[in-house]
């Protein structure tokens, strides 16, 4: 999936109106430094593609309620796990515009 996003990043990296956000599914392991290393691994040199970590409950709630990427019940506890191959396209007004298979 990351290699597919690399293609999108390279295609749109000069556009100021495009931003890619990659949220971790394992925030307990993915510190800010780990995410920065991941960005470097994928050739990200600017703020057009951000690798985000944070509170698991909040991240999983966003996946379910904001991005609509997972409809399974869960509360973000240690047994909860979300991982999807789908990308969500969100416009600058924060409206969902589409879902795309990242494979």
User: Higher model confidence: residue 50 or residue 70?
Assistant: 50
DSSP E strand boundaries for the chain: 20-23, 49-52, 86-90, 96-101
Measured from the Cβ of residue 32, the count of other Cβ atoms closer than 10 Å reads 11
The pTM for the full model equals: 0.74
Residues 11-64: pLDDT tens digits? Answer: 988 888 888 888 887 888 889 999 999 899 988 888 888 888 888 888 878 777
């Amino acid at each position: 999936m990351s290699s597919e996003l690399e293609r999108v990043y390279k295609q749109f990296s000069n556009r100021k109106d495009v931003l890619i956000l990659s949220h971790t599914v394992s925030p307990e392991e993915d510190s800010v430094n780990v995410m920065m290393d991941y960005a470097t691994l994928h050739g990200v040199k600017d703020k057009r593609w951000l690798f985000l970590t944070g509170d698991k409950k909040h991240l999983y709630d966003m996946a379910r309620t904001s991005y609509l990427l997972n409809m399974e019940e869960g509360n973000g506890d240690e047994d909860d796990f979300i991982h999807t191959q789908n990308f969500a396209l969100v416009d600058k007004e924060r409206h969902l515009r589409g879902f795309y298979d990242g494979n």
